[in-house]
């Protein structure tokens, strides 16, 4: 194993992780909670609608998007929908869970405020733990949302909260700017027509801080993010990327991509137990498989973007 080859494979591995967002099958669960006032009720519903639309553009089919607002967000309905959603999730899926509205914290328990009985942070954590998805993004844009960070975060999960703790109780502005990020070319820093969770978070956090400065007021919310996959999870597609139709062939290729990513992780986990040459040989094989698959995915996207019925049947 020459130093040059080792360096080349290391660079290829880094690029495979940070330069290419993931495109697994997307499922979204969006809840707009109790507003308390008509102005909040309307704002929360509009935000939930925008989140659902962004999920569709990110690759979720209508059947894979659950949006609960108003009376549909009552506890009796929510419990059933949570269970049904979790049962439908597959191990290679990307799941987006978004909560908009008000939250509360009594020093011991976080509650997401619903029409009627609330749901607790522990109950939501049990729902998250019940899903086998490889990639989960949870956006809790409510007040007091920071109270759940320690109990919700996991290795296969990105958790974003609008506040740093349960004691930041004021109505938050984070959801407003998160929604803006999902259709903003400004949020798309690398201009690749997709917005990742990391990009959306950076945009929303910056805009929240700017809003408080503009008002010359003390910031009452400080968002948090936990999770290593934030720069790979796609939350919105822009331009031509948002116009790609649903396609079984592309979905299959994307599922293969998730499998190869798992193989990369498995090789990396064995690095200390393998001989140097054997480690880089195995790594090279998986990276070549990923490169070939990336090419097939790009070719399929080009076919779909071309809109040729004949080509789509190839």
Can you tell me the distance from the alpha carbon of 127 to that of 217, in angstroms, rounded to the nearest whole number? Answer: 37
Pairing between strand 110-112 and 65-68?
Answer: unpaired
pLDDT for 304 equals: 75
Q: How many residues does the chain have?
A: 314
- Domain ranges in the chain are 26-242, 255-307
pLDDT for 58 equals: 81
313 phi and psi, to 5 degrees? -90, 0
Q: Is residue 99 within 8 Å of 31, Cβ to Cβ?
A: yes
Can you tell me the distance from the alpha carbon of 118 to that of 51, in angstroms, rounded to the nearest whole number? Answer: 22
How many angstroms from the chain centroid is the CA of residue 95?
7
**Cβ neighbours, 10 Å, residue 65:** 18
pLDDT for 252 equals: 73
Tell me: the pLDDT tens digits for 150-184? 999 998 899 999 999 999 999 999 999 999 999 99
Q: Which two tokens stand for residue 260?
A: 């190869």
Q: Which CATH class name applies to 26-242? A: alpha beta
Q: Is the pLDDT of residue 198 over 90?
A: yes
Pairing between strand 157-161 and 224-226?
Answer: antiparallel
- Choose between 13 and 144: higher pLDDT: 144
pLDDT for 24 equals: 63
Tell me: the pLDDT tens digits for 98-127? 999 999 999 999 999 999 999 999 999 999
- Choose between 255 and 253: higher pLDDT: 253
227 conformational bin, left if phi > 0, alpha if psi -120 to 50, beta if neither:
left
Q: Is the pLDDT of residue 297 over 90?
A: no
pLDDT for 203 equals: 97
Q: What is the pTM of this model?
A: 0.75
What is the percentage of the chain residues whose pLDDT exceeds 70?
Answer: 85
Tell me: the pLDDT tens digits for 259-290? 787 788 888 888 889 888 888 888 888 888 88
pLDDT for 293 equals: 86
Q: Which two tokens stand for residue 286?
A: 């998986």
How many angstroms from the chain centroid is the CA of residue 53?
14
Averaged pLDDT for residues 292-299: 85
pLDDT for 23 equals: 54
Q: Is residue 30 within 8 Å of 66, Cβ to Cβ?
A: yes
| Confidence bin at 251 (pLDDT 50/70/90) | low
Tell me: the pLDDT tens digits for 129-139? 999 887 899 99
Q: Is residue 149 within 8 Å of 159, Cβ to Cβ?
A: yes
- Please tell me the least confidently modeled range out of 181-185, 231-235, 306-310: 306-310
What is the percentage of the chain residues whose pLDDT exceeds 90?
Answer: 54
Alpha-carbon dihedral 66, 252, 250, 17, rounded to 10 degrees: 90
Averaged pLDDT for residues 50-73: 91
Q: Is the pLDDT of residue 74 over 70?
A: yes
pLDDT for 216 equals: 94
Q: Is the pLDDT of residue 20 over 90?
A: no
Q: State the Rg of the chain over Cα.
A: 21
Q: Is the pLDDT of residue 295 over 60?
A: yes
Coarse DSSP helix, strand, coil percentages of the chain, rounded to the nearest 5 percent? 55, 15, 30
**DSSP readout, 120-164?**
EHHHHHHHHHT---SEEEEEE-STTGGGGHHHH--TTEEEEESSS
| Confidence bin at 311 (pLDDT 50/70/90) | very low
Written in H, E and C, the secondary structure of 89-118 is CCCCCEEEEEEECCEEECCCCEEECCCCCC
Per-residue burial over 203-240, b = 16 or more CB atoms within 10 Å of its CB, e = otherwise: bbbebbbeeeeeeeeeeebbbbbbbebbbbbbbbbbee
Q: Which residues pair with 158 in a beta bridge?
A: 137
- Choose between 47 and 260: higher pLDDT: 47
Averaged pLDDT for residues 238-246: 66
Can you tell me the distance from the alpha carbon of 119 to that of 224, in angstroms, rounded to the nearest whole number? Answer: 21
Averaged pLDDT for residues 43-70: 92
Q: Is the pLDDT of residue 11 over 70?
A: no
Residue 283: burial class (beta carbons within 10 Å; 0-12, 13-18, 19+): buried
């Amino acid at each position: 194993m020459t130093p040059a080859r080792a360096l080349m494979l290391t660079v290829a591995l880094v690029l495979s992780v940070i330069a290419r967002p993931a495109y697994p099958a997307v499922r979204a669960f969006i809840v707009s909670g109790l507003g308390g006032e008509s102005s909040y009720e309307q704002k929360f519903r509009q935000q939930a609608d925008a989140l659902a639309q962004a999920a569709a553009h990110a690759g979720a089919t209508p059947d894979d998007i659950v949006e609960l607002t108003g009376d549909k967000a009552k506890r009796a309905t929510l419990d059933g929908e949570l269970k049904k959603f979790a049962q439908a999730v597959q191990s290679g899926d990307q799941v987006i869970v978004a909560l908009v509205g008000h939250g509360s914290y009594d020093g011991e328990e976080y509650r997401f405020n619903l029409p009627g009985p609330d749901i607790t942070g522990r109950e939501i954590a049990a729902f998250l733990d019940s899903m086998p998805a490889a990639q989960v993004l949870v956006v809790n844009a409510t007040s007091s949302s920071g109270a759940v960070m320690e109990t919700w975060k996991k290795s296969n999960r990105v958790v974003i909260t609008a506040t740093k703790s349960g004691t930041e109780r004021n109505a938050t502005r984070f959801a407003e700017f998160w929604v803006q990020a999902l259709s903003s070319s400004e949020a798309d820093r690398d201009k690749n027509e997709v917005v990742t969770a990391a990009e959306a978070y950076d945009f929303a956090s910056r805009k929240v801080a700017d809003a408080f400065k503009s008002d010359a007021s003390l910031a009452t919310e400080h968002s948090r993010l936990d999770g290593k996959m934030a720069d790979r999870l796609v939350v919105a597609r822009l331009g031509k990327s948002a116009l790609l139709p649903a396609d079984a062939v592309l979905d299959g290729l994307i599922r293969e991509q998730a499998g190869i990513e798992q193989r990369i992780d498995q090789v990396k986990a064995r690095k200390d137990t393998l001989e140097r040459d054997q480690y880089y040989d195995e790594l090279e094989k998986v990276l070549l498989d990923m490169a070939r698959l990336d090419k097939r995915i790009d070719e399929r996207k080009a076919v779909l973007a071309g809109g040729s019925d004949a080509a789509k049947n190839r």
